[in-house]
Amino acid sequence: MWSADAIGGLEGITRRLSQAQLDAIDAAVRATEGREATEVTRADFSAPEIASLMAAVHYDVLEGRGAALLSGIDVGRYDLEQFKRLHFGLGTYLGVACEQSPRHDRIGLVRKEPNPQRRGYLMDTELGPHTDFHEMMSLATFVSAIEGGVSGFVSAAGIYETIKAERPDLLAALEEGYYYPTSLESTTDYKVPTFSVVDGHVALYNYLLFLPQAAAIRGEVLPEKFVEALRYLGKVSRRPELMISVQMQPGEIVFWQNFRMLHSRTGFKNVPGRERTLLRLWLRAHEHYPMARGFVEIADILNQQHSEGWSMLVNTDESLRAAYELMKG
């Protein structure tokens, strides 16, 4: 486990790229000119300098602190399509890119835009500490916000050890977990742990919108002790001493293991001519972190739904209100 203070804050997860690494990445971007970003393969980014960099990132994400932020890329050298190829090419080292919505977007554009389904990555509001759905995640900043849009990262193991020390009575409910939706009308027939502990490896599934939805489908209420535990987990995850906060600069890219790290974002403001724009990858990992049943399976269900042009990720006023009630207390 780690806390932000213990690892030296942002420096603890930052890798500054060498000139040789930057030159190799630039050469790969130029060599793939004219191709769609999602057509780029690992072979296109196979230069030794890139391979050694991404081997180190792979270690950081799976065996190290759970995240790695790459710094030093001059985004001014690239237009958006070139930067997409750069991001996608590096991501091929960690996993296979998955569709993030029924729009079949294997590269998600994280920005404010019309959003009837109220997906968080298309809004400008605050997003509290949470997990998404796929094992490997990445964000790459193309345009930063004029105000706000600060990302936060918190270690799942750090949260677990804090709760274990302060409120060990809550761990049983979190390790038991609850059912998860498999569609708008069905749930898993098994409980997905909030905290998974497999051979000493701690993972955390914390997507609160799904839990009230599953309870409503099942015609029941969430267990009282589980709700208490989730609320305490939420409070712990927001502690400044546990969280690394970063205002990502244009060109910076962060990779992390989704279930080893909670991530968050403060609200942000755009101004005409400067609209916050990030790229996002959801990756099905080449190498799996040890986790309980459900962590990967829910992602596979979403993959199938998105390929069919629909999704159970629909945030209504009712579901958002239910998640808010679950978080407060």
Within a domain: 78: yes
Within a domain: 201: no
| pLDDT exceeds 70 at position 1 | no
Residue 235: predicted pLDDT: 96
Give the structural domain span for 50: 12-148+248-290
Within a domain: 304: no
Within a domain: 57: yes
Structural domains counted in the chain? 1
| pLDDT exceeds 80 at position 25 | yes
Report the alpha-carbon distance of residue 17 to residue 320 in Å, rounded: 40
Q: Which of 204, 209, 157 is nearest to 177 (CA)?
A: 204
Within a domain: 212: no
Within a domain: 19: yes
pLDDT tens for 207-262 read: 999 999 999 999 999 999 999 999 999 999 999 999 999 999 999 999 999 999 99
Within a domain: 261: yes
* Contact call for residues 287 and 126 (beta carbons, < 8 A): no
Residue 328: predicted pLDDT: 64
Residue 106: predicted pLDDT: 97
CATH number at residue 266: 3.60.130.10
Residue 238: predicted pLDDT: 96
**In the predicted model, what is the mean pLDDT of the chain?**
94
Residue 4: predicted pLDDT: 80
- Residue 326 makes CB contacts below 8 A (sequence gap 6+) with 208, 211, 212, 222, 227, 230, 231
Within a domain: 41: yes
Report the alpha-carbon distance of residue 26 to residue 32 in Å, rounded: 10
Q: How many CA atoms lie within 13 A of 245 on its CB side?
A: 11
